[in-house]
Amino acid sequence: MAITVQEIAEKLQLSKSTVSKALNNASDVNENTRKMVVDEAIRMGYNLKNLKTQAKKRLCIFIENMDYDNIEQFAYEIILGFKSEALQNNYDVDIVPFTMNNKTKYKYDDYLLDNKYSGGFLLGFSFHDSFIQQLNNTIYPTVLLDNYIDNENVAWVGTDSYEGIQKAVNYLISQGHTKIALLNGGYNSRVSHERFYAFHAAMADHNLTVPDELIGRGDYTENCAERIVPGFLKYDVTAIVCANDKMAFGAIRELRRLGKSVPEDVSIIGYDNLPLASYTYPALTTIHQSRLELGKAAFFVLQKIFDGIPINKMLLKPRLIIRDSVSCIIKEK
């Protein structure tokens, strides 16, 4: 049964006309009243199609090198979380998939100005990217997923890599593994550097040093595993920590191709906990990133930058999800 303006008005003890004005984004409605009404309308299940959001405020999500079309993909829930919070706070959100074209065509600040955006959320950009370099001087509040820029208007949102890699390494070691390799992402993303240092730190906590040959520099795609995993096997690794689930899927596929079974011969831990991770064979043990919450956090951080709070980093807690891709080899020792 559809929620009516009348019901919202009663719930909020406001006049029906005020609620109606608010939902239609009339200019003579106080901003706080409008936000409260829309907020409550959404909570009560009011049909959002009836919501006129000619919002004065607009935000832009720039995305590159990341899939977000369906829930199976990494960025999908992040964008969903960001958009839902933004809508409830009277922001319109556009998604701009960036190609080299757009980037050469536009300067970041010019693009936001010309399109009347008040801030941006950037996902998947390469650290050395000319476009992202412009962020060093942007005057627009901007949030980056897993990347860092030294500018008071730009903040980093992500999951704590040190804690995540530490949980992965500690778990492997608790299962008797000591010859552990890291299949890392490309170093054009700041987060890859963090996972690299975090891996060495976590191993060092157990007095284990890691030879360079056990650090593989991938690119976060499934295919890069083919190039890197065979090298690990020369060193009799019993476990591989992958910097994302896609590379973990690739590692499992490549190990199978080489006649190795997971987890009997080699244990695998992923990072992200994509929905697919529970359906692979073996089901993937991985580090969970709360993607919906990451998107919400990104919006909150953007708001706080608007409020003049100089946020550098907002990091969420990772969680170890134990499935079937890690074997306990303590008996074998």
Q: Give the footprint of its own copies on this chain (CB under 8 A).
A: 11-14, 18, 29-30, 32-33, 36, 39-40, 150, 152, 159-160, 163, 290, 293, 296-297, 300, 304, 307-317, 319
Q: Which helix (H) or strand (E) holds 241?
A: strand 239-242
CB of 15 to its own copies, least distance (A): 8
Block residue for tokens 């919400």: 296
Residue recorded with tokens 């299949």: 183
Task: Please give, one letter per residue, the 3-state secondary structure of 170-189.
Answer: HHHHHCCCCCEEEEECCCCC
Report how far residue 223's alpha carbon sits from residue 325's, in angstroms, rounded to the nearest whole number. Answer: 19
Minimum gap (Å) between residue 27 Cβ and its own copies: 13
* Residue with Cβ nearer its own copies (29 or 240): 29
Beta pairing class for 285-288 and 319-321: antiparallel
How far apart are CB 86 and its own copies at their closest, in Å?
15
User: Shortest distance, CB of residue 105 to its own copies, whole angstroms?
Assistant: 31
Distance between CA atoms of residues 116 and 99, nearest Å: 21
Nearer to its own copies, 57 or 304 (CB): 304
* Closest distance of CB 141 from its own copies, Å: 13
Which is closer to its own copies, CB of 257 or CB of 317?
317
**Residue number with CB closer to its own copies (164 or 250):** 164
Q: Based on CB atoms, which residue is closest to its own copies, 42 or 233?
A: 42
The string over 116-126, giving b where at least 16 C-beta atoms fall within 10 Å of a residue's C-beta and e elsewhere, is ebebbbbbbbe
- Please say whether the beta carbons of 225 and 214 come within 8 A: no
CA–CA gap between residue 218 and residue 228 (Å, rounded):
7
CB of 316 to its own copies, least distance (A): 5
- Using the minimum distance from each CB to its own copies, give the nearer residue, 102 or 170: 170
CA distance 232 to 238: 9
Q: What is the C-alpha R_g of the chain?
A: 23
User: For residues 58 and 319, which CB has a smaller minimum distance to its own copies in the complex?
Assistant: 319
> Residue 191 belongs to what H/E stretch?
helix 190-204
Number of other residues whose CB lies within 10 A of the CB of residue 6 = 11
CB of 317 to its own copies, least distance (A): 4
Taken in order 77, 79, 84, 85, is the CA torsion positive or negative? Answer: positive
Q: Minimum distance between the CB of residue 78 and its own copies, rounded to whole angstroms? A: 13
* 51 vs 96, beta carbon nearer its own copies: 51
Token pair of 157, please?
């949102």
